[in-house]
Amino acid sequence: MESSHDPVRSPLQDPNIVKLKAYLINTVSHEFTQASSSPAEHASQVQEALNKVYEHTGVKLPESIRVELFHDILDELIGFGPIQNLIDDPDISEVMVNRPDQVYIERKGKLLETHVKFENDDHIRRVIERIIMPLGRRVDTDSPMVDARLPDGSRVNAVIPPVAIDSPLLTIRKFSKARLTVDQLIEFDTLTPMMSDFLRACVMGRLNIIISGGTGSGKTTLLNVLSCFIPETERVLTIEDSAELRLAQVHVIRMEARPPDLDGRGQVTIRDMVRNALRMRPDRIIVGECRGGEALDMLQAMNTGHDGSLTTLHANSPRDALSRLETMVLMSGMELPLKVIRQQVASAVDLIVHQSRLKNGPRKITAISEVSGMEGDTIVMTDIFKYEQTGVAEDGSPIGYFRPTGIRPMFSPRLEAVGYKLSAELFSKVTPPPVPTVRRK
């Protein structure tokens, strides 16, 4: 594990400045009670109050230290405390607080330990409360876990004792402001131009596609990219637990699940929304992630004329994705025989795109597999493209190449019927490169 610890001691760690900081925060917090009409006005009012309290103390710090101190205090009062700078850094994709003296980040696919520290467990709790209170959420001993979405789309997860044994835990997965394109994924070596052309034809040809992969493998990002291939003329309905999808089309209807209120009422689940979606005349239904019984409703939608649907799910391989689907259908409460469930899956799903996060951070589409029907009681799958790892570079990064398996998918006539003829060379086998190229940075 790499570390980004800063060996230089900050002037703000001086005991006298620590006391001054605590005094300023407490005084401003107690004196500042005026409600603000906007975040900008609130920040301006807090800054003005801080200036007055500081002048009243008569302390004269060097200007550079005063600016740094004020910056920290404003982060405490109106931001996310010690992790505000990490939130503001565009290169950081995830922030993970494990305990007061251990904060990790993900930067460009790699986990790094930072120099950031909280004062104690209570300090982490205060930051958690500041994050979730404006969102109408709560976390306490009766409800020690919370999952929420910030206004900018970032996802927040917090867990406190007694569930979190050592310290309150806080994880923030930041929402990228830049919408990635398929050309950028090709540049990042996530897939090849041939794979991109194939997936474009599959989306435009209205195949039902499942994107599978592990946590942090980039499933939602890939779903966003594939959705860009949907024609502008179609009515697209998105259903998510926490809204993360950003479709470029104009005719998009977005729905987001709602947790129960403090009295346990008012919950709206993904399954509720999938059922309701069928009454909204969608051309396509996109479910951000299937996690439970909604998988049955999604499969039934795919089997009743809603071709071109897309969703993601957690799985370790394309075959594992099918097993996960079976398990989730059973979670719906419908007592269906396993063979019937498998027939539903085989009939509904056309393609599974599996994405993996490899060692040292690169994300790659490691398999594109066709669901080609049933053979006895078993669902038949055929790999169309595969990623083959041939070695490891000096820095631990994988070395490998993408290859077509040489098998033309059985749904090719469906694509040709709507004008997407796949060339023979798209599926031609390739020989492994004699000297594998190290992953592009």
> For residues 20 and 59, is the Cβ–Cβ distance under 8 A?
yes
- DSSP labels, 9-65: PPGGGSHHHHHHHHHHHHHHHHH-----SSHHHHHHHHHHHHHHHHHHHT----HHH
Model pLDDT, residue 418: 79
Distance CA 279, CA 135 (A): 30
Q: Which two tokens stand for residue 159?
A: 């867990």
Distance CA 437, CA 225 (A): 26
Measured in whole angstroms, the distance separating CA 113 from the mean position of its chain's CA atoms is 21
What is the number of H-type helices and E-type strands within the chain?
Answer: 13, 16
Model pLDDT, residue 31: 63
Position 121 pLDDT exceeds 90: yes
DSSP 268: B
Residues 264-270, mean pLDDT to the nearest whole number: 85
Q: Which two tokens stand for residue 164?
A: 């979190």
Position 37 pLDDT exceeds 80: no
- The pLDDT mean for the chain works out to 85
For 303-351, write each residue's pLDDT tens digit.
Answer: 877 889 999 999 999 999 999 999 999 998 888 899 999 999 999 999 9
pLDDT-wise least confident of 74-78, 191-195, 269-273, 434-438: 434-438
To the nearest whole percent, how much of the chain has pLDDT over 90?
43
- DSSP labels, 143-188: S-EEEEE-TTS-EEEEE-TTTSSSS-EEEEEPPPSSPP-HHHHHHT
Position 104 pLDDT exceeds 60: yes
Label residues 67-103 b or e (16+ Cβ within 10 Å = b): ebbbebbbbbbbbbbbbbebbeeeebbbbbbbbbeeb
Q: How confident is the model at residue 83 (pLDDT cuts 50, 70, 90)?
A: very high
Q: What fold characterizes domain 79-177?
A: Beta-Lactamase (3.30.450)
Position 4 pLDDT exceeds 60: no
Q: How confident is the model at residue 76 (pLDDT cuts 50, 70, 90)?
A: confident
Position 3 pLDDT exceeds 60: no
Tracing tokens 């860009």 back to the chain, one arrives at 228
Highest mean pLDDT among 32-41, 77-86, 278-287, 426-435: 278-287
Domain boundaries, the chain: 1-78, 79-177, 182-427
46: nearest Cα among 71, 13, 16, 83: 71
Query: What are the residue ranges of helices labelled H in 176-291?
Result: 182-187, 193-204, 219-227, 270-277
State which H helix or E strand residue 359 sits in.
none
Q: How confident is the model at residue 33 (pLDDT cuts 50, 70, 90)?
A: low
Model pLDDT, residue 438: 45
> For residues 219 and 212, is the Cβ–Cβ distance under 8 A?
yes
Q: What fold characterizes domain 182-427?
A: Rossmann fold (3.40.50)
Residues 345-367, mean pLDDT to the nearest whole number: 92
Residues 372-379, mean pLDDT to the nearest whole number: 92
Residues 134-143, mean pLDDT to the nearest whole number: 82
Residues 208-220, mean pLDDT to the nearest whole number: 92
For 174-198, write each residue's pLDDT tens digit.
Answer: 877 777 899 999 999 999 999 999 9
Distance CA 160, CA 103 (A): 16
Model pLDDT, residue 287: 92
Model pLDDT, residue 436: 47
409: nearest Cα among 215, 255, 199: 199
Q: What are phi and psi of 209, to 5 degrees?
A: -125, 135
Distance CA 344, CA 325 (A): 10
3-state secondary structure of 159: strand
Position 12 pLDDT exceeds 80: no
Pairing between β-strand 155-159 and β-strand 145-149 as defined by DSSP bridges = antiparallel
Position 112 pLDDT exceeds 70: yes
